[in-house]
Amino acid sequence: MSGIKGTKCKALLRVLVPWVLLTNIILALYCLTNPSQKSLITQSHSKECTPRTNIMFMKTHKTGSSTILNILFRFGEKHKLRFAFPDGRNDFFYPSPFLCSQVKDYRPGECFNIVCNHMRFDHQEVSKLLPPDSVYITILRDPVDLFESSFHYYHRAVPLTWKIRGENKLTEFLNSPRAFYSPEAFNSFYLKNLLFFDFGLDNNLEADDPRVMKEIKNLSKRFHLVLIAEYFEESLILLKDLLCWTMEDILYFKLNARRSSSVSHLDAEMRVKALQWNGADWKLYQHFNATLWARVEAYGRERMKLEVEELRRRNAEMKDICIEGGRAVEAQKIENSRFLPWQPVGETSILGYNMKKDTDPRFRTLCEKMLTPEIQYLSELGVSLWITRLWGWLKDAIY
Ligand SMILES: *[C@@H]1O[C@H](CO)[C@@H](O)[C@H](O)[C@H]1NC(C)=O
Ligand SMILES: *[C@@H]1O[C@H](CO)[C@@H](O)[C@H](O)[C@H]1NC(C)=O
């Protein structure tokens, strides 16, 4: 008996040993081509897990994603990670579908650590850039508020809306969307199911089309965590847990907030219209809102409550240390152009911050980084932004 077992064991070993060797060699090769992995070994971490450093953040529009981007930039800088950046601009040729050839310095077979700029998602293309163990995350927001925000930000870029008369263009649009919308029209995706579009899906599917739920199921297989803007802090705590990060890693100031007077407050009837118009996004949002809360439940409600309190306390502390006056101000009042956020066409509705002049020197750099808007931060990370800047210059010259 034991003899038979012995030969079986040997046969098994003969198969196993080369396998283990082979995977080790591949791993070693991978680490060599990916130097940032090594920096983790020297880093001390009290917890038993190792911080995850390979991350795909699908940056959706008008969802608070700029705040997440700032968190990722800071983490990536701190750990000397390799970002897959676009070239000449701040997005991957959005709204064209993403292609890995749009990444600066892309070479087939070589991996990056973080992908996080705006793109029209394509899982297959993205997966060519990242190690297979990468964590995929994204963020969604209530589609009614998202639609309102997108309309505010982009309607001037959608020519069909130019013929809307009257003061309240958003209400006019929602009362008869088909009069001002055509699936083929230039930039029309900004005004219908923008989330579906960002994920590379057909934004003109109606909510009851069976393909909508199928696409949502597909996405739920791709993404390890879907954050929800309305529950931003809970989402960040789940993110910290998933990535094995520290509280310090997820501290943030809300970036790119809009002046409240520029936000249209839709009444109940208009909200229903906006929901129906963006029915596919609504289904998407509801699905992932439910999965978020199922995860909060699994994490522990009480534990979550304590962690959220801690995050709020530490954010408030940072606010005291860094921000002049303790809150965001209008663009005109921002003294240092380094902290001036990008403004929509024909508007200056995006708020920003002034940094305290007498910041404790120990926190100076952290404050600066936490307050730096996306475009300036990209520049500091070495991204050439000449196309974005040219567009910005044209935009300001025309309006
Ligand atoms: C979902 O994913 C599968 C497999 O990748 C793909 O064939 C299909 O077209 C996707 N979409 C739908 C609506 O099923
Ligand atoms: C999201 O989920 C929470 C918790 O279940 C619920 O209270 C909230 O109403 C949901 N939001 C939407 C828009 O469905």
- The confidence band for 344, taking pLDDT boundaries of 50, 70 and 90, is confident
Contacts of 343 (CB under 8 A, 6+ apart): 331, 349, 350
- The confidence band for 301, taking pLDDT boundaries of 50, 70 and 90, is very high
The CATH number of residue 110's host domain is 3.40.50
Tally of structural domains, the chain? 1
Residues found in the chain: 399
> Who lines ligand 2 at CB under 6 A?
142, 286, 289, 293
> Who lines ligand 1 at CB under 6 A?
211, 214-215, 218
- Assigned token pair, 259: 């002046």
The minimum-distance atom of ligand 1 relative to the CA of 215 is: 13
Q: Does residue 15 have a pLDDT over 60?
A: no
Identify whether 7 is part of a domain.
Answer: no
Q: What's the first-to-final CA gap in the chain, in angstroms?
A: 87
- Assigned token pair, 19: 């396998």
Q: Which of 18, 63, 8, 47 is nearest to 281 (CA)?
A: 63
C-alpha 289 – ligand 2 centre gap (Å): 6
Q: Report yes or no: 253 and 353 within 8 Å, Cβ to Cβ.
A: yes
249-299: per-residue pLDDT in tens? 999 999 988 888 889 889 999 999 999 999 999 999 999 999 999 999 999
In whole angstroms, what separates CA 360 from the centre of its chain? 30
Note the pLDDT of residue 19: 54
Q: Does residue 399 have a pLDDT over 70?
A: no
Q: Report yes or no: 210 and 191 within 8 Å, Cβ to Cβ.
A: no
Q: Report yes or no: 98 and 125 within 8 Å, Cβ to Cβ.
A: yes
278-291: per-residue pLDDT in tens? 999 999 999 999 99
- Nearest protein Cα to ligand 1, atom 14: 214
User: Where would I find the beta strands (DSSP E) of 72-214?
Assistant: 83-84, 114-115, 135-140
CA 366/CA 118 separation, integer angstroms: 24
Residue 286 carries which side chain, given as an amino acid letter? Q
Q: Report yes or no: 332 and 348 within 8 Å, Cβ to Cβ.
A: yes
CA 64/CA 227 separation, integer angstroms: 10
Contacts of 60 (CB under 8 A, 6+ apart): 138, 139, 140, 141, 194, 195, 198
Identify whether 209 is part of a domain.
Answer: yes
Spell out the alpha helix ranges (H) of 34-109: 36-42, 65-78
Contacts of 328 (CB under 8 A, 6+ apart): 254, 257, 351, 352, 353
The minimum-distance atom of ligand 1 relative to the CA of 211 is: 13
Give Cα separations from 357 to 323, 324, 333, 368 (angstroms): 9, 8, 15, 11
Give Cα separations from 282 to 127, 178, 208, 209, 225 (angstroms): 27, 19, 11, 13, 18
Identify whether 71 is part of a domain.
Answer: yes
Identify whether 28 is part of a domain.
Answer: no
- Nearest protein Cα to ligand 1, atom 4: 218
Residue 226 carries which side chain, given as an amino acid letter? V
Tell which one of 275, 293, 299 to mutate to probe ligand 2, the residue whose CB is within 8 A of the most ligand atoms: 293
Q: Which of 34-48, 67-81, 84-98, 152-166 has the lowest mean pLDDT?
A: 34-48
Question: Looking at the whole model, is its pTM more than 0.75?
Answer: yes
Q: Which ligand is nearest to the CA of 219?
A: 1
Contacts of 163 (CB under 8 A, 6+ apart): 180
Reported as type and span, the H/E element at residue 227 is strand 225-228
- Assigned token pair, 247: 């509280």
Q: Report yes or no: 74 and 369 within 8 Å, Cβ to Cβ.
A: yes
- Nearest protein Cα to ligand 1, atom 7: 218
Q: What percent of the chain has pLDDT over 70?
A: 88
- Nearest protein Cα to ligand 1, atom 3: 218
Q: 293 is in which domain, residue-wise?
A: 53-398
CA 151/CA 190 separation, integer angstroms: 7
Burial 227-246 (b: 16+ CB within 10 A, else e): bbbebbbbbbbbbbbebebe
C-alpha 301 – ligand 2 centre gap (Å): 15
- The confidence band for 42, taking pLDDT boundaries of 50, 70 and 90, is very low
In whole angstroms, what separates CA 192 from the centre of its chain? 20
Identify whether 195 is part of a domain.
Answer: yes
What's the whole-number mean pLDDT along residues 368-387?
93
CA 63/CA 61 separation, integer angstroms: 6
Q: Please, which residues bridge with residue 323 across strands?
A: 355
Identify whether 8 is part of a domain.
Answer: no
